[in-house]
Amino acid sequence: MKRVHNFSAGPATLPLEVLKKAKSELTNFQNMGRSVMEISHRSAQYTEIDRQAKTHLRDLLNLGDDFEIMFLQGGASSQFMMVPFNFLDENETADYIDTGRWSNKAIKEAKVFGNVHRPYSSSESGYDRVPTDDELTFSDNPAYVHFTSNNTVAGTQFPKEPETDGIPLVCDASSDFLSKPIDVSRYGIIYAGAQKNIGPAGVTVVIIRKDFLRKADTEGVPTILQYQTHAEKIFNTPPTFNVYMVNLVLEWIQDKGGLEYFKSFNEKKAALLYDEIDRDDFYRGAVEKDSRSLMNATFRLPSEELEAKFLSEAEERDLYTLKGHRSVGGIRASMYNACPMESVQTLVDFMKTFRKENS
């Protein structure tokens, strides 16, 4: 069975162990004579999958009972709209830290419902950094502070939660969800499209603190778009196979050692690659060093012609999906939890050879 070195930013590589287990159960889940895709979302078997996945999340994040967990659809892009629809009205202001393409899209949606203040923006420098706490200038009484914890296009990441003096954080954690421990007490909402780090595309994890949820305004909000609709129940048919896959990945994360293990593992992978990028001027990191992402390393070569050659020769060595986002170009290597150290080492070895042959 051929497996390439997959550096896709998303949908991204999945653990081979998870794929093999899903394959073994694909046509006959729990000896039912049916696939998990063919059973009712109201069945005892699927109800147990949903329960297990939420239990795994509570355990991994130390959530306790003061958070609701929901498996919704529409990706993080739907949450750009749902969050302000539920928590922002025309007379209120929400603060959105602007650090990239996705935070900017979230800002656009929020402006439909209320006022948006940007306490910081790195747009003028090409989104090449995230702010320090002393660079944040919040509005007087924001409903919440929104930030994108990891920016896949630029290749930047917040090393910790921004300090907000008690204002609830709303976080788009799509591309570094469960890659490291976080301080959940700081958050009102955490949402994440699964396709980066915990499963296939098609399911979005939404975690809401219950006291924050009670502040949601339901007037004028369609039933399906109210967070209360999905609290403690499965309101409509969820993407059942995707949730099944997420559950398997969560089990895999726990078996490996949880978030502390992956924090260390991801730091080691990133250090290996960034050390090679920084060896000389042939490869150039695309963002400031203090803001570098552990998930998405972005860099440039001396010319676009060399970058095209780099990508072509990389594929000859089974190193795939290294092309930077279409809006910025360059090279991007995405190293989510399931990206093995072997893949990063193979990439680094190729980078050494390519530099030697093209300097």
Q: Which residues are annotated as a binding site?
A: 42, 76-77, 102, 152, 172, 195, 236-237
Give me 305's structure tokens: 């012609």
Residues making up the chain, counted from first to last:
359
Cis peptide bond prior to 11, omega within 30° of 0: yes
What distance in Å separates the CA atoms of residue 156 and residue 149, rounded to the nearest whole number?
9
What distance in Å separates the CA atoms of residue 320 and residue 308, rounded to the nearest whole number?
13
Q: Which residue has the tokens 């440039």?
A: 300
What distance in Å separates the CA atoms of residue 264 and residue 266, rounded to the nearest whole number?
6
| Selection from 296, 294, 297 nearest residue 264 by Cα | 294
What distance in Å separates the CA atoms of residue 317 and residue 343, rounded to the nearest whole number?
11
Element (H, E) at 315: helix 304-316
| Selection from 2, 99, 5, 91 nearest residue 342 by Cα | 5
Using an 8 Å Cβ cutoff, are 111 and 241 in contact? Answer: no
What distance in Å separates the CA atoms of residue 217 and residue 223, rounded to the nearest whole number?
12
What distance in Å separates the CA atoms of residue 201 and residue 169, rounded to the nearest whole number?
25
What distance in Å separates the CA atoms of residue 199 and residue 187, rounded to the nearest whole number?
23
Task: Report the catalytic residues.
Answer: 102, 172, 196
Binding-site residue set for L-glutamate: 42
30 SS3 class: helix
State the amino acid at position 231 in one-letter form: A
Using an 8 Å Cβ cutoff, are 11 and 24 in contact? Answer: no
Within 10 angstroms of residue 282's Cβ, the number of other Cβ atoms is: 18
Give me 11's structure tokens: 């949908």
